[in-house]
Amino acid sequence: MDLQGLTHEQLLALKARLDGLTDVTGRTPFRDRQLHNLTLQPTATDARPLFVWSAEQPRDYRPEPGKLFPALVWNQETGEERTVHSQADRDALGAEWQGVQPASVVINPLDDMQAALDALSPEDRAAVIQSQQDARKSDLTARLAALSPDQLEALLSGQPKTKAGRSRKIA
């Protein structure tokens, strides 16, 4: 091919096109068709970039039959989780055990507190209870200090001066 007859602009366009086809880093350049259908996987005869999303299946995907066990089940009342290894194990648990985790489980906070108190030594437990009682006393003292003298006198006399109906909210 004789390049003598080409103009300067044509030579620059040819050089730009050739530069786009050769990669000095040693990697194969991507052809346009390789980037249009991102779901196709590379093969031995068709090299292409590998785009893998969890929702996309490879073109040679063969699903395997799923296994039912072991499976997780949850108690719908307490939210407890267990693993069952057979249908007999699942049937033995009862109807309140389902394969769906409960959306809202009411957890009793007193159980957690009881476990924390049981973990303490008797001396530490007595100290915690004493400090809690002291905190209640100081809170009650502060609320009493916020009352006016008339309100305090009515409260201490045992006959609060309130109308019939709902009691007043003490802030």
Sheet of 81-84, strand order = 81-84, 71-75, 97-98
SS3 of residue 106 by DSSP: coil
pTM above 0.85?
no
Could you write out the DSSP letters of every residue in 36-80? T-TTPPP-SS--------TTPPPTT--PPPP---SEEEEETTT--
pLDDT at 85: 92
What pLDDT does 100 receive? 84
Query: CA dist 5 to 11, 19, 115, 121, Å?
Result: 10, 21, 93, 100
Q: What is the pLDDT of residues 31-84, one digit of tens each?
A: 555 556 666 777 777 776 666 666 566 667 777 777 888 888 988 888 888 999
Q: What is the pLDDT of residues 114-147, one digit of tens each?
A: 888 999 999 999 999 999 999 999 999 999 889 8
